[in-house]
C-alpha cells in the first residue's frame, strides 16, 4: 500500500461524508473549505473557502471530470461547480425542511444528484433545476446516510435512527440512457450570474450561482413520493429483524436473475461452531433473525456498502457499536455476521476486482482493515496508517481501481 499524506487543516470529524472521488480528482471537507486534488499526482487543484458556514457533504461526478457538488450547514442548499475550469455550474435550495446530510450522483442519470435533507430523500436534476421527492419519513427519522447500488442503480439503501435500514426502489432518472441533451449541456456550460454566500479563494477561486424551481407545499414538494420500500430491517441488541417491505424488485433494477444458491459466492457456509444469527422463519410468516450472543454491537448504521460482485443485491452494514452484518436484499436474509469490534464510527467499502474483500476504517484506530465475507471472525490483513490519528473515512479511487 502506497501512502500519501494530506493536511486537512481542521477536518470536520462530525461530518459523515468527508471524502469524494471522481474519474481524475478527489476531494475532502475541512473547516469552512472544500479541497480538491488530482488523484494521480495527489497535487492540489483547487480550494473553495466557505464564508461562515461549514460544508456538510461533498460528492464528485463518476462520469464528468472535475464536476463537484457540496452542501452548507444550516441550509438546504446544494452547489455544483467545475473544478478544472473554475466555473460555476448551478446552485439550488432543496424544497424540504432541514440540513443536507448526504449527496451523491445518481447512477441512473449523470445530470442528477440524490440528496438527503432532514427527513426527505430527493432527486435534483441540476441541469434543469427540477426536484423530485423520492421518499419522506416521519419527523424522528432523519436520513443521515444512503448508498445507491452499483449493480442495480434503482435500489438505494437508507440508514435511519434507532437501527433502521431500508432499501428503496426508485424510478430511473430522466436521462438514464445517455448523455444530457444539447440544452442540458448548454446549461452546464453557462455559469449563473448570481453570487452566493460562498467565495472561491486560494488555489483557483470559484464563483457560484443560485436558482430555484419547483412546487412547494408546507416546505415539501407537492408531488407524491416515487420510491417504494423493498426491504426494511431493524438492528439492535436482540439481533437483526426483517420487518417489512414488498420484497419485490422491479425489472428496471434487475441485471440478471438470482441464482438459487444462498450465500455469497466467496463465502463458506456457516457452521455450528461460529453461530451469529439464527433464522426464525419457522416461528412466523415474516423472516426474522436474532443474535445468538456470539457477536453483537448492532444498532445505528455508521456506513453502508453494496457488494458489486453480487447481482442479487448484498448490502454490508457497519454499526457504530462495532457490529457488522451482510444482508441479502432480495431474499430478506442475513448472509453473514462479523466479529464485533470496538465501538465507534466505522466506514466500509468493497475492493474492486477482489470478490468478497472489503476495507474497514474506524474512528477508534489508525489501522485500516481488510476483511473478506468468507472469514467472519477477524480481518485477513491490516494496514497501519502513518501518524497517530484515527481514521474517519475510506474509499477506493477510480483511477487506482480501473
Last residue of a domain, one of 220, 239, 256: 220
Cell of 148: 445507491
- Residue 79 falls inside a structural domain: yes
The domain of 101 spans: 1-150+170-220
* Higher pLDDT pick, 155 / 259: 155
* Higher pLDDT pick, 132 / 210: 132
Confidence of residue 14 (pLDDT cuts 50, 70, 90): low
Confidence of residue 289 (pLDDT cuts 50, 70, 90): very low
The whole-number pLDDT of residue 371 equals 92
Q: Is the pLDDT of residue 292 over 90?
A: no
Average pLDDT, the chain: 74
Nearest-angstrom CA–CA distance, 273 and 217: 56
CATH of the domain at 124: 2.40.128.630
- Residue 91 falls inside a structural domain: yes
Q: Is the pLDDT of residue 375 over 50?
A: yes
Cell of 53: 458556514
Residues 212, 236, single domain; the answer is: no
Give the tens place of pLDDT for each residue, 252-274.
Answer: 433 333 333 344 544 433 333 23
Maximum CA extent, the chain: 66
* Higher pLDDT pick, 244 / 287: 244
Residues 38, 142, single domain; the answer is: yes
Q: Is the pLDDT of residue 313 over 70?
A: yes
Residues 148 and 106 sit within 8 Å (Cβ to Cβ): yes
Nearest-angstrom CA–CA distance, 35 and 282: 53
Q: Is the pLDDT of residue 279 over 80?
A: no
Q: Is the pLDDT of residue 12 over 50?
A: yes
Last residue of a domain, one of 220, 254, 279: 220
- Residue 314 falls inside a structural domain: yes
- Residue 156 falls inside a structural domain: no
Residues 188, 335, single domain; the answer is: no
- Residue 158 falls inside a structural domain: no
Residues 101, 6, single domain; the answer is: yes
Q: Is the pLDDT of residue 306 over 90?
A: yes
Confidence of residue 5 (pLDDT cuts 50, 70, 90): low
Q: Is the pLDDT of residue 341 over 80?
A: yes
**pLDDT more than 90, % of the chain:** 28
Residues 121, 242, single domain; the answer is: no
Give the mean model confidence (pLDDT) for residues 22-36: 83
Confidence of residue 283 (pLDDT cuts 50, 70, 90): very low
Lowest mean pLDDT of 66-80, 184-198, 334-348, name the range. Answer: 184-198
The whole-number pLDDT of residue 111 equals 93
Give the mean model confidence (pLDDT) for residues 327-341: 90
Q: How many domains does the chain have?
A: 2
User: CA dist 103 to 31, 115, 215, 242, Å?
Assistant: 18, 5, 21, 27
Confidence of residue 145 (pLDDT cuts 50, 70, 90): very high
**pLDDT more than 70, % of the chain:** 68
Give the mean model confidence (pLDDT) for residues 199-225: 34
Give the tens place of pLDDT for each residue, 176-209.
Answer: 443 333 333 344 433 333 222 233 322 222 222 2
The whole-number pLDDT of residue 256 equals 34
User: CA dist 307 to 93, 210, 350, 380, Å?
Assistant: 33, 37, 6, 18
- Residue 360 falls inside a structural domain: yes
Residues 231, 133, single domain; the answer is: no
Lowest mean pLDDT of 49-58, 189-198, 335-344, name the range. Answer: 189-198
65: left (phi over 0), alpha (psi -120 to 50) or beta: beta
Residues 234, 142, single domain; the answer is: no
Nearest-angstrom CA–CA distance, 109 and 125: 8
Q: What is the 3-state secondary structure (H, E, C) of the chain?
A: CCCCCCCCCCCCCCCCCCEEECCCEEEEEECCEEEEEECCCCCEEEEEEECCCCEEEEEECCCCCCEEEEEECCCCEEEEEECCCCEEEEEEECCCCCCEEEEEECCCCCCEEEEEECCEEEEEECCCCEEEEEEECCCCCCCCEEEECCCCCCEEEEEECCCEEEEEECCCCCCCCCCCCHHHHHHHHCCCCCCCCEEECCCCCCCCCCCCCCCEECCEECCCCCCEEEEEEEEECCEEEEEECCCCCCHHHCCCCCCCCCCCCCCCCCCCCCCCEEECHHHCCCCEEEECCCCCCCCCEEEEEECCCCCCCEEEEEECCCCEEEEECCCCEEEEEECCCCCCCEEEEECCCCCCEEEEEECCCCEEEEEECCECCCCCEEEECCCCCCCCCCCCCHHHHC
Pairing mode of beta strands 44-50, 198-200: antiparallel
Residues 91 and 113 sit within 8 Å (Cβ to Cβ): no
- Residue 161 falls inside a structural domain: no
Residues 176, 260, single domain; the answer is: no
Confidence of residue 10 (pLDDT cuts 50, 70, 90): low
* Higher pLDDT pick, 321 / 218: 321
Residues 137, 246, single domain; the answer is: no
- Residue 157 falls inside a structural domain: no
CB atoms within 10 A of CB 397: 17
Residue whose C-alpha cell is 444539447: 182
Residues 215, 284, single domain; the answer is: no
Confidence of residue 90 (pLDDT cuts 50, 70, 90): very high
Confidence of residue 346 (pLDDT cuts 50, 70, 90): confident
Residues 181, 297, single domain; the answer is: no
For the whole model, what pTM was predicted?
0.76
* Higher pLDDT pick, 304 / 182: 304
Cell of 64: 464528468
Residues 392, 276, single domain; the answer is: yes
Residues 164 and 170 sit within 8 Å (Cβ to Cβ): no
The whole-number pLDDT of residue 86 equals 77
Amino acid at each position: 500500500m502506497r501512502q500519501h499524506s494530506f493536511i486537512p487543516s481542521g477536518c470536520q470529524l462530525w461530518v459523515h461524508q468527508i471524502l469524494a472521488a471522481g474519474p481524475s480528482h478527489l476531494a475532502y471537507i475541512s473547516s469552512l473549505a472544500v479541497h480538491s486534488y488530482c488523484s494521480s499526482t495527489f497535487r492540489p487543484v483547487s480550494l473553495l473557502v466557505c464564508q461562515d458556514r461549514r460544508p456538510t457533504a461533498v460528492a464528485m461526478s463518476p462520469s464528468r471530470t472535475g464536476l463537484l457538488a457540496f452542501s452548507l450547514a444550516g441550509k438546504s442548499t446544494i452547489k455544483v461547480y467545475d473544478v478544472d475550469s473554475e466555473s460555476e455550474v448551478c446552485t439550488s435550495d432543496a424544497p424540504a425542511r432541514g440540513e443536507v446530510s448526504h449527496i451523491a450522483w445518481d447512477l441512473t442519470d449523470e445530470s442528477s444528484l440524490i440528496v438527503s435533507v432532514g427527513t426527505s430523500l430527493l432527486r435534483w436534476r441540476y441541469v434543469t433545476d427540477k426536484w423530485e421527492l423520492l421518499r419522506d419519513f416521519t419527523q424522528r427519522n432523519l436520513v443521515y446516510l444512503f448508498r445507491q447500488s452499483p449493480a442495480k442503480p434503482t435500489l438505494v439503501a437508507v440508514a435511519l435512527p434507532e437501527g433502521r435500514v431500508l432499501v428503496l426502489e426508485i424510478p430511473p432518472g430522466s436521462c438514464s440512457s445517455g448523455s444530457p441533451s444539447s440544452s442540458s449541456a448548454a446549461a452546464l456550460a453557462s455559469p449563473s450570474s448570481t453570487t452566493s454566500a460562498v467565495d472561491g479563494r486560494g488555489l483557483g477561486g470559484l464563483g457560484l450561482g443560485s436558482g430555484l424551481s419547483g412546487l412547494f407545499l408546507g416546505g415539501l414538494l407537492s408531488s407524491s413520493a416515487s420510491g417504494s420500500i423493498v426491504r426494511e430491517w431493524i438492528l439492535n441488541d436482540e439481533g437483526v429483524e426483517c420487518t417489512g417491505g414488498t420484497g419485490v424488485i422491479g425489472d428496471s433494477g434487475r441485471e440478471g436473475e438470482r441464482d438459487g444458491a444462498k450465500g455469497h459466492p466467496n463465502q463458506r457456509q456457516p457452521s455450528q461452531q461460529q453461530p451469529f444469527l439464527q433464522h426464525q422463519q419457522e416461528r412466523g410468516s415474516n423472516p426474522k433473525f436474532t443474535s445468538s450472543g456470539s457477536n453483537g454491537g448492532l444498532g445505528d448504521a455508521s456506513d453502508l456498502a453494496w457488494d458489486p460482485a453480487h447481482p442479487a443485491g448484498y448490502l454490508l452494514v457497519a454499526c457504530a457499536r462495532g457490529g457488522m452484518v451482510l444482508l441479502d436484499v432480495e431474499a430478506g436474509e442475513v448472509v453473514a455476521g462479523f466479529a464485533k469490534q470496538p465501538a465507534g464510527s466505522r466506514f466500509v467499502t468493497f475492493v474492486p476486482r477482489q470478490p468478497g474483500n472489503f476495507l474497514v476504517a474506524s474512528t477508534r484506530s489508525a489501522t485500516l482493515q481488510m476483511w473478506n465475507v468468507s472469514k467472519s471472525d477477524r480481518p485477513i490483513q491490516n494496514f497501519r496508517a502513518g501518524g497517530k490519528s484515527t481514521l474517519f473515512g475510506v474509499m477506493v479511487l477510480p483511477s487506482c481501481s480501473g
